[in-house]
Amino acid sequence: MNIMETSFVSRKTLAFNNAVTCIYLPLLVTFLNYTGDLYNVGKPETAYVGCVLILAEVLKYIKCCLLPNGNTKKSEPKKYKIYGFFKGILTIASMTIVFYIAAVLFGAPFFSKHYQTFIFAFVLSILTILPCCLFLGPDSVPILIASLTFFEGSEIYENFLFNIRLTIFGAWLGAVLIPLDWDKPYQVWPVPCYLGAIAGCLVSNFISFISLSFCMPPKKTGKYYL
């Protein structure tokens, strides 16, 4: 049983993180619809979406944990911060490959649309893995991924695990539209899974925000046990 120091992340921090996600994701989808790119997600012309998602997640983390009025982690030597940064990048890259392979195993085109599948896997990593790397550290990712079906731990870890579960479920649920013979633009791979992942992430953050904002807080402890 590992003891992880996550007390720097408060319920207020989590609620703010969830609230901002509930704001910027609908705005992003609205912008894509307005520009006519909603059904072009996964194509080169909408590659900027991934950059927007990364920027939004990093800015949330800066506001929550790095600004003077935010919650801050204990100071670490510079070399450990650099190590953590590159480890986080490696973790996201590794999980992108994992999601890519999983998408192919679940029916994504194997001999074609490699770019679209990669972009879908990358966006899935940004929505699920990047927040964990920022708030909990890269070392938390293998534990959370291994605990997708069953997990009992701190409220903080449950918050991020709930987002991973619902985002992946949203992506899987979106695939239901692909085999239907409606011949609609939103059925083309990876549009329904891409948008389904965003919808799942939005729903999970909304539920978490309501739970954190209006439910009774747990007993305060300095450490959480995983």
Longest dimension (CA), the chain: 57
Query: What average pLDDT does the chain have?
Result: 84
Q: Tell me which of 74 and 90 has the higher pLDDT.
A: 90
Q: What is the pLDDT of residue 221?
A: 43
Domain range annotation of the chain: 3-68+94-225
The average pLDDT across 130-144 equals 90
The average pLDDT across 102-108 equals 93
Q: What is the pLDDT of residue 99?
A: 96
The average pLDDT across 182-193 equals 91
The average pLDDT across 7-15 equals 75
Cα radius of gyration rounded to whole Å, the chain = 18
Least Cα distance to 96 among 59, 131, 61, 121 occurs for: 121
Q: What is the pLDDT of residue 146?
A: 84
pLDDT digits (tens, 9 = 90+) for 42-59: 899 999 999 999 999 999
Q: Is the pLDDT of residue 216 over 70?
A: no
Least Cα distance to 57 among 121, 133, 119 occurs for: 133
